[in-house]
């Protein structure tokens, strides 16, 4: 890997502490860092390098998936320097340029620069533009920009943001993080299907009855009321994470694909995603909001009673929908997606239900035959199971049994480790490309507008439940149920 500067905006923020320092540390332990790297942390707080190192050490102690090794901690921390920075001041960019250059010459490394914007979305455009204007991103070596979600708040704002970034970075240089794409089981989807002809031959509308994608959470809005009450589940989870899971599941794997082919394939899936017509929206889209209830045995408030939330808020904390991908592989097959806060359990999983075509002269239900399922647990468990029917010879009835493969998640690199490693190497396979982001916003936009106009019913559900009744009806109308 080439030597570089890693310039981190938002160095004392929550994401840096929880995810980025632990990810960098684990990459360091695994020998996956460049041999010489200058990490420059930026923030408004007047930290010394010692303060900064203490903050990183504490973050590692609290959040790293592996224990700290005192013998090499100093070597790791020595890569980090702190620079005071105010994104709204031009002098700050000039100081930053000097700071980076002086570390580059001290370490004798080329001016390859990776800029990570772990900052409020309002600052992304401002920082990117000023990095260019002040020469910080005009290097002889390569430059890359990593941006966090949300990428815009609707189609128009996403297009505007992208147009500004494109003025100063090329598409190949922009790495839009969607941390779901860094999850091991999401990356495993490709390697699960391609080398397994049994699964590959089943991966289309002829064999599959429906696909279900769930991302349920037990947490509520927490301390993010001001953001979440405007975003809702649709912007927070659906436009990005859930639609990325749809694309990754629907990908076809005839052979090992290059990053470019995967990108192209995902774009085609999004182009084939049937738009939800306004007059049919209520039949296909469910929006919900949690009421008071009990989660893990503890009483919790209704969404409207949470701190910082308007008591009349109609914001969505739950979203479910029926989608169709009108291409040769998936025609006619419903993809159901759902996500919600304050649900019964924390679980992200994909279930593929196969058609139940047991001998037509038989009565499968009477014999206890159920449809085959392929379950992919993404988070917190990581496993793949296949549900099959096995006969119990004592009563001549079939019983479902699971063939399961599972991994211990703590032994696996975390999403951010994988994504940072990829970005350092310039591999954008598991990042959200502009085409996908724009097409996702295009699909979501009419639904956003319907929510805005209160044109769809707002269903309620008790905290700690499986979501509104209407989301169960969405499947039962088609003869299915959520798994």
- Kindly list the residues in this chain that would bind ligand BG6 in the complex (CB under 6 A): 215, 217, 236, 348, 379
Are the CB atoms for 346 and 218 separated by under 8 Å?
yes
CA 405 vs. chain centroid, Å, equals 23
Length of the chain: 483
Alpha helix stretches (DSSP H) within 319-460? 364-367, 415-425, 434-452
CB of 382 to ligand BG6, least distance (A): 12
Catalytic residue among 53, 241, 253, 433: 241
CB 80 within 8 A of CB 53: yes
Choose between 40 and 247: whose C-beta lies nearer to ligand BG6: 247
Question: How does DSSP classify residue 409?
Answer: G
In the bound complex, what is the minimum distance in angstroms from residue 26's beta carbon to ligand BG6? Answer: 17
Residue 217 or residue 375: which is nearer to ligand BG6 going by CB?
217
Measure the CA–CA gap between 86 and 422, rounded to whole angstroms. 29
Q: At closest approach, how far in Å is the CB of 278 from ligand BG6?
A: 28
Could you tell me the smallest distance in angstroms from the CB atom of residue 217 to ligand BG6? 5
Instruction: Report which of 118, 103, 149, 96 is spatially closest to residue 20, judged by C-alpha positions.
Output: 118
DSSP 80: E
Q: What minimum distance in Å lies between the beta carbon of 335 and ligand BG6?
A: 19
Pairwise CA distance, residues 362 & 454, whole Å: 48
Residue closer to ligand BG6 (CB basis): 227 or 324: 227
Residue 463's region, left for phi above 0, alpha for psi from -120 to 50, else beta, is beta
Short-list 147, 130, 143, 125, CA closest to 92: 130
- Residue 331 in contact with residue 205, Cβ under 8 Å? yes
Nearer to ligand BG6, 379 or 385 (CB): 379
Q: How far is the CB of 379 from ligand BG6 (least distance, A)?
A: 5
Annotated active-site residue 284? The verdict is: no
Long-range contacts for 401-408 (Cβ within 8 Å, ≥24 apart)?
Answer: 402/375, 406/377, 406/381, 406/382, 407/184, 407/382, 407/383
Based on CB atoms, which residue is closest to ligand BG6, 236 or 306? 236
Cβ nearer to ligand BG6, comparing 7 with 215: 215
Q: Whose Cβ is closer to ligand BG6: residue 313's or residue 348's?
A: 348
Instruction: Work out the angle at residue 389's Cα, subtended by the Cα atoms of residues 337 and 407, and round it to the nearest 5 degrees.
Output: 60
Q: How far apart are CA 396 and CA 138, in angstroms?
A: 73
Cα dihedral 119, 121, 127, 132 in deg (nearest 10): 130
Q: How far is the CB of 178 from ligand BG6 (least distance, A)?
A: 8
The set of catalytic residues is 241
């Amino acid at each position: 890997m080439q030597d570089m500067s890693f310039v981190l905006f938002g160095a004392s923020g929550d994401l840096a502490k929880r995810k980025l320092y632990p990810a960098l540390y684990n990459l360091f332990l695994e020998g996956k860092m460049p041999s010489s790297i200058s990490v420059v942390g930026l923030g408004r707080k007047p930290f010394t390098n010692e303060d900064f190192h203490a903050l990183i050490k504490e973050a590692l102690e609290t959040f790293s998936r592996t224990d700290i090794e005192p013998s090499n901690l100093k070597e790791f921390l020595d890569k980090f320097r702190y620079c005071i920075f105010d994104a709204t001041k031009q002098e700050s960019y000039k100081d930053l340029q000097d700071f980076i250059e002086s570390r580059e010459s001290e370490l004798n490394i080329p001016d390859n620069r990776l800029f990570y914007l772990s900052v409020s979305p309002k600052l992304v455009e401002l920082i990117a533009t000023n990095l260019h204007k002040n020469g910080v991103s005009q290097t002889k070596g390569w430059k890359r920009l990593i941006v966090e979600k949300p990428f815009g708040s609707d189609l128009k704002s996403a297009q505007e943001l992208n147009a500004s970034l494109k003025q100063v970075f090329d598409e190949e240089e922009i790495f839009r993080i969607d941390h779901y794409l860094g999850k091991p089981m999401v990356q495993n989807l490709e390697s699960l299907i391609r080398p397994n002809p049994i699964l590959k031959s089943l991966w289309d509308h002829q064999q599959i009855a429906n696909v279900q994608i769930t991302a349920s959470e037990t947490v509520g809005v927490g301390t993010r009321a001001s953001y979440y009450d405007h975003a809702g589940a649709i912007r927070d989870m659906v436009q990005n994470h859930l639609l990325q899971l749809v694309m990754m599941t629907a990908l076809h794997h005839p052979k090992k694909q290059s990053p470019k082919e995967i990108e192209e394939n995902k774009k085609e899936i999004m182009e084939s995603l049937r738009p939800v017509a306004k007059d049919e929206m209520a039949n296909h889209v469910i929006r919900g909001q949690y009421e008071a209830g009990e989660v893990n045995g503890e009483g919790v408030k209704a969404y409207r009673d949470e701190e910082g939330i308007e008591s009349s808020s109609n914001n969505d904390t739950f979203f479910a929908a029926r989608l169709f991908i009108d291409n040769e592989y998936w025609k006619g097959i419903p993809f159901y997606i759902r996500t919600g806060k304050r649900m019964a359990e924390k679980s992200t999983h994909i279930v593929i239900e196969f058609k139940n075509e047991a001998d037509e002269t038989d009565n499968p239900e009477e014999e206890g035959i159920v449809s085959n399922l392929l379950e992919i647990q993404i988070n917190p468990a990581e496993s793949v199971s296949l549900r099959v029917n096995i006969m119990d010879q004592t009563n001549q009835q079939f019983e479902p049994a699971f063939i399961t493969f599972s991994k211990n998640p703590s032994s696996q690199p975390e999403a951010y480790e994988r994504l940072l490693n990829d970005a350092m190497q310039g591999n954008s396979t598991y990042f959200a490309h502009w085409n996908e982001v724009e097409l996702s916003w295009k699909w979501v936009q009419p639904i956003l507008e319907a929510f805005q106009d209160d044109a769809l019913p707002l269903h309620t559900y008790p905290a700690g439940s499986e979501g509104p009744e209407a989301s169960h009806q969405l499947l039962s109308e088609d003869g299915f149920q959520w798994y």
